[in-house]
Amino acid sequence: MYPDSEILFPTRCISQLANLRGSDWLELVEYIASLSETDEDSLGFSLMMIKFSGCLTCDLDSYRASLGCSTCAKRTVAGFKGSDKALLRKFEQARQEVVAYLEATGLRVKPAKRKRIVTQPALARAAR
């Protein structure tokens, strides 16, 4: 019925959220969009958006579903009254939830140290 609506926030919508906020948000979105959808940072971003947008309470008969996932996510991010730093903290919390789950279930393979060029400076600023 609504071809742009899915059960949960789709990763195909991530890049469409780039220019809705400031530079810290833009850095994060560009970094996440460059990752595979199974990367723990990508999963963390999706979890953040699922919670933030209320995907679990969306159904095909709802107004949000009629808008489609892209429009719903854009409205949610653009309408957020907090700062970009608050959004980055939400991302980091969701990412930590994903990591904890993967470690608890034995699904997380300890990654090689990788540079987090894009998100580390932004997350460090958000933590202040």
Residue range 44-69, pLDDT digits in tens: 999 999 999 888 888 878 888 888 88
Q: Is residue 115 part of a domain?
A: yes
State the Cα–Cα distance between residues 9 and 52, nearest whole angstrom: 10
Per the listing, tokens 């958006």 go with 49
Write down the pLDDT at residue 115. Answer: 46
Domain of residue 109, residue span:
11-127
Report percent pLDDT > 90 for the chain. Answer: 57
Q: Is residue 4 part of a domain?
A: no
Report percent pLDDT > 70 for the chain. Answer: 80
Q: Is residue 38 part of a domain?
A: yes
Contacts 24+ apart (CB under 8 A), 105-108: 108/40
User: In the predicted model, what is the mean pLDDT of the chain?
Assistant: 84
Domain total for the chain?
Answer: 1
Q: Is residue 1 part of a domain?
A: no
